[in-house]
Every structure is written in structure tokens, then in C-alpha cells.
Amino acid sequence: MSTTTQNLTGQSILAGTQTSGTGREVHGYNPATNEPLEPAYTLIDEQQLKVATEAAAEAFDSFRSLEPTKHADFLEAIADNIEAVGAELVTRAMAETGLPEARLTGERGRTTGQLRLFAKVVRQGDQHGVRVDPALPQRQPAPRVDIRQRKIAVGPVAVFGASNFPLAFSTAGGDTASALAAGCPVIFKAHNAHPGTSEIVGRAITKAVADFGLHPGVFSLVYGPGASIGQALVADPVIKAVGFTGSRSGGTALMATAAARPEPIPVYAEMSSINPVIFFEGALAEDPSAQAAAYLASVIGSSGQLCTAPGLVFVPTGEAGDAFAQAISAQAPAASGQTMLTESIFNSWTQGVEALGSQEGVELLGRGIEGTGKNAPAPTIYSSNVEQLLANSVLQDEIFGAASLVIHYADAGQLKNALSKLEGQLTATLQLTESDYAVAAEVIPTLETKVGRILVNGWPTGVEVGHAMVHGGPFPATSDPQTTSVGTLAIERFLRPVAYQNFPDGLLPKPIGMDNPWNLTRRVDGTLKTVGE
């Protein structure tokens, strides 16, 4: 057993207080060796969870009313604190996940970058969404009273950490950052696969809460079984929304709990996607070998443990598609497996690959070699055709890891029909040249109804964090296709509109005050007015 503790306590942080749980102990594990890592983490019980939820309820009113500059400074302080930890954070994450240093260093930058991006939104006040319909006392046939609208935070939010992103979709990741930016206290349920990483980041958030004099209930970090503590967290009447990234079974279980409450709440769950990539004739005409290499690289990166990994690739039948398939068969044997996040994820990958390979009409196209150490399976590519894809739902099952299926299609009509029968996805990618535009134009309307992001001549395994990004899609990609979990639009999940009719100025909240005390951009009588107008 590793003796490296990195000053970790193995405790939850309940409203600013490090607290030992009353339940069993769990460890993080080094997936390359399956060896446990110190320290042990004690799991809290439902009574201890109440400490966090009640504190979040107490913190809500003061936190949602923060002046924009202080609110933004707080988010930026979290980012600063995470960076101040230094190499310790990446080292611990490497030990718990098997992910390489470069990947985790980049993920840390994405984590702090999105916190600072939300700070800019908060400083500008965009999340308030102010609308003003001024009074029209002389209007005929009936006068109009003054009506003002703003968006307010929904209340405390439960966030569940993802297994595959120990930083960017974890303790201070996109769900936490957007909820805090909206003015919602967060209770974060740590993923038991990387408890030490979660504790390090949780302490960085807790320090920022204390340094800014905020109510300690603004943030809590809890360790507990998902089947009990996770469900109890979602069922708690204090919680008003849920952010989740993980399996379809886990997401739908939380959705059922949230829907069964006396007061149902939204669950924003990102769950399952195979992200179809469509090759047209022109894209394969020049260099199918290079396209095959790019495809394999996208499949193998991070051992395929990305929600945007290309699990399904369409290629035309005939010479171009055959050349692509032959290139995969030639290149795949050199592809080395990478350590997966956990032994259980490795076992699930193995079962999924065996299930796919045993289906009628599915053939092995190429297989790589196992990586060194434990839980590093050989990347595997299968092939089949549209008829089998539509006849057998197993061919559409997500295999979380380095595995993918190549489907040969006969013509644009068959391709369009196949795409229309797919489940909802996070992404779809079009590989094309100008000669393919006409055919691509036929399938784009279908893709718009199936996915949240459509790419041209790229690979989906890379999600830019910005203002225009959509990381969402129809079920089962996400539980709510109207939202995104990446980018500044993610803040909208944790806000709701309130209208104020005929209020005297002395009672108006500052964001919608008559003299615009916070200098916010507003939509006045339907026209957008920037500061100074």
C-alpha cells in the first residue's frame, strides 16, 4: 500500500469543517497496479449529509445577492488556489487515474480557465438577463405598468463528480463553476475513484469561501456511497437542481429520484454517446491512410474514456471505404493500449467489446496490443453494415474505452435513414471536401435533430470552453437537450426568471433598479441597451 499521503485527511468537508464519516472506508487505487492509495476515506451517513444541506440552505440568500465584483473575484480566487497547489495536484491525479501528466496538466488549465470565464460573465452581469418594459401610462386602450425581469439562482445544487475528468468535470469543474457563478451553493459528491484529487481541490474552494467571508455552506465536499448518499442528496428538499456526468444507469436513477420528490427538480445529466463520424467520398479520395491514422488517434486518446470519443464511423461502400478499412487493419496492430481509470471500467469495456464482437454481421477490423501494467486493453475496431446496425441495438451501445465500429453505407439515402434511427448524441462529425457539400447538405437537417454539436473536418475529442459551445444533446446523450454542460450557457441551468410588476424603485433589487446601479446591459422595451445608453 502506498504511503504517500500528500497531507490528505480522508475526510469530507461539511460547510467548511473537515469531518470524518461514520461509515465504511474507501481508498483510491492506482489503476496501473490495482494497489490502494493512502489515506482511507471514511464515508458519511445521511445524518451527516444534513449538516451540508442545511448549511447550504442558510448560505443561499447571502450568496445569491453578492455584488458582481466580489462574486467574480471569489471565482477567480478558487482558480488561483487550485494553481497554487502546484505539482501535488497533478501527481495525485496521475496516481488515482493512470492518466498522463500532460493530459492532467491541460485539464487543470481547463478547470481554472472555465472558472475565470464564468467570473467574466458574473462581472459583466450577463447572467441576470435584465429585461425592462417601462410604464406607458398614456397607452390606449389600456395603460401599461412598469414590468422588470431578472434571473435569480434556483437554490443549492448537488453536483456529482465524473470518473473520466478528475478535474474539469469534478470538484471545481464545469457544473460546480456554473452553479457557483449563478449564485447557487454547491454540495459536491466526490467520485470514489479519485478521492484525494477531490479533497485537494475541495480545500482550495473552501479556502476561497473563508477568505471572502462567505457563509461556509456555500460549498461542501462529501464522500459516500452513490446508492445511499447520492440518492439522499438528490431527494433532500433543500436541493433545487442536480449536475451529473456518468453512466446512463446512474443518470436515470438520479432522474427517477428527482422526479419522485414532492417537489420535482431538474437533473442535468450527461450520460451516453457514440458520436457518429461520417466520411464522404471526397474526404477519402486523397489519403485514406492519413484519415485512418487520425481516426485511430481519436479512438485511442485517453484510452477512449471520453464522452465525445468516436464510437461509430460511417464510410461509403466501394473503393474509398475499402481503402480506409484496409488502412485501419494495417495500422491498428501497432496501437498500444493505455491504462484505464479503474478496474471496474476495464471490466465493463471487456464485456462490451466481447458482446459487440459476438454479434452477427460484425467482423474484427483491427486490434492493437495491450499496454504495460494492469487495465490497459488492446484498442479494438470492428466493422459491419447499415442493415446490421438498424437490426441490432447492441451495435449502438456505448463502449466506454478504446473501441469503435465502422459501418459501410451504400448511398446518401441509406446514410440518412441510418442517422435518423440513431439515439441522441453529443456530437456528429462530417469528414468532407467541397465535392461532398451537396450530399452533406442532405444529412445535416437530420443531424440537427440528433446531436448537440456538428463538426466539419475535425475530431470530436476536444471540447472548447467558450460562449458558443454546446456540450449536450437529445436523450440519452443528456437528460435535457435544451442545455449544455460546457461553456458560459451552462449557467442558465441554475437560474430562473422572476418578473417585478409596478415596484417602487426603493424595493427593486439592484440588478433591475431604475438607475441601473450595477451598470448592466439590459433589454429595454425589446431593444438591447448597453451600459451608457
Determine what percent of the chain is predicted with pLDDT higher than 90. Answer: 96
The C-alpha angle 340, 342, 343, rounded to 5 degrees, equals 100
pLDDT in tens, 10-48: 999 999 999 999 999 999 999 999 999 999 999 999 999
| Domain assignment of residue 510, yes or no | no
How sure is the predictor about 4, in pLDDT bands with cuts at 50, 70 and 90? very low
Which residue among 107, 307, 398, 423 is the active-site one?
307
| Domain assignment of residue 315, yes or no | yes
* pLDDT given at position 5: 47
How sure is the predictor about 530, in pLDDT bands with cuts at 50, 70 and 90? confident
Beta strand 276-279 with 12-14 is unpaired
Q: Does 3 score more than 50 pLDDT?
A: no
177 & 293 share domain: no
Query: Residue 372 and residue 389: Cα distance in Å, rounded?
Result: 34
- Intra-chain end-to-end CA distance of the chain, in Å: 65
162 & 55 share domain: yes
367 & 235 share domain: no
Residue 270 known to be catalytic: yes
Q: Does 6 score more than 60 pLDDT?
A: no
188 & 307 share domain: no
The lowest-confidence range among 43-47, 225-229, 374-378 is 225-229
CATH number at residue 203: 3.40.605.10
68 & 205 share domain: yes
Give the count of domains, the chain. Answer: 2
User: Do residues 383 and 407 lie in contact, with contact meaning Cβ atoms separated by under 8 Å?
Assistant: yes
Going by C-beta distance under 8 Å and a sequence separation of 6 or more, which residues neighbour residue 71? 122, 123, 181, 183
207 & 298 share domain: no
User: Do residues 512 and 132 lie in contact, with contact meaning Cβ atoms separated by under 8 Å?
Assistant: yes
| Domain assignment of residue 471, yes or no | no
Going by C-beta distance under 8 Å and a sequence separation of 6 or more, which residues neighbour residue 474? 423, 424, 425, 449, 450, 451, 452, 481
* pLDDT given at position 255: 97
* pLDDT given at position 199: 98
254 & 306 share domain: no
The C-alpha angle 377, 381, 383, rounded to 5 degrees, equals 150
Phi-psi region of 268 (alpha: psi -120 to 50; beta: other; left: phi over 0): beta
Q: Does 2 score more than 80 pLDDT?
A: no
Query: Residue 3 and residue 21: Cα distance in Å, rounded?
Result: 21
Beta strand 186-189 with 219-222 is parallel
CATH number at residue 441: 3.40.309.10
450 & 368 share domain: yes
* pLDDT given at position 531: 76
Which pTM does this prediction carry? 0.95
pLDDT in tens, 65-90: 999 999 999 999 999 999 999 999 99
293 & 230 share domain: no
| Domain assignment of residue 338, yes or no | yes
| Domain assignment of residue 266, yes or no | yes
Query: Residue 256 and residue 223: Cα distance in Å, rounded?
Result: 22
267 & 280 share domain: no
| Domain assignment of residue 4, yes or no | no
User: Do residues 222 and 190 lie in contact, with contact meaning Cβ atoms separated by under 8 Å?
Assistant: yes
How sure is the predictor about 406, in pLDDT bands with cuts at 50, 70 and 90? very high
Which residue among 58, 270, 398, 423 is the active-site one?
270
Query: Residue 333 and residue 369: Cα distance in Å, rounded?
Result: 6
* pLDDT given at position 226: 80
| Domain assignment of residue 461, yes or no | no
* pLDDT given at position 462: 84
Query: Residue 84 and residue 78: Cα distance in Å, rounded?
Result: 10
Q: How far is CA 49 from CA 44, 187, 220, 314, 421, in A?
A: 7, 9, 10, 48, 43
> The cell 431593444 sits on which residue?
527
Range of the domain at 415: 276-456
* pLDDT given at position 227: 83
Q: Does 452 score more than 90 pLDDT?
A: yes
> The cell 435513414 sits on which residue?
417
55 & 160 share domain: yes
| Domain assignment of residue 402, yes or no | yes
Q: What is the mean pLDDT of the chain?
A: 95
166 & 307 share domain: no
* pLDDT given at position 347: 97
